[in-house]
Amino acid sequence: MPGTPGNKDVIVMRKAALNTTTLYHLFGHFFGLPDTYAEIAPVPPAVPGPPPGVTSHEWFNRIAANCYTHGDGFCDTEADPYNVGYNDNVNPIPPCFFDYGPQDGQSNYYTPPVDNYMSEYRGTCRCRYTQEQYNFMARVILTQKLYLH
């Protein structure tokens, strides 16, 4: 991640991964994007909090701009409860959908962004960044990656 002390400003990956969405995922990290399931600010925690096994405090319905203070920090990415095991709940063939999953702290079912490059839902589903993600990457390029322009 940019600005992390001790990290080098490079992307290293296997040649076999160059033709996959993994490259777009890593470029997202290079330009400052967190994973969609990341928790950017666990303090103060959301009340009610997430169910057991879910680390994100972001709510499905975005009440009180919870999406800007929890989860990945972007309100145009869907709340993502991803953790090990939920990857199997995605139909890997377009139109890609999430079959079932946990509920958030308000008892609403998550519908995670299986099509977002920054999600961990693999396969042919990942195909986009959101507008807020594009804007954030542009800001990182203009303020932290000055050698690129």
Specify the amino acid at residue 8.
Answer: K
Structural domain of 75: 1-149
Count up the domains in the chain and report the number: 1
pTM: 0.83
Residue at token pair 């990182």: 140
pLDDT tens per residue, range 45-62: 888 888 787 778 888 887
pLDDT tens per residue, range 3-45: 566 666 777 777 876 767 888 988 999 999 999 988 888 778 8
As given in the structure block, the two tokens for residue 14 are 């296997």
- Torsion angle, alpha carbons of 42, 45, 48, 51, to 10: 30
Residue 2: pLDDT above 60? no
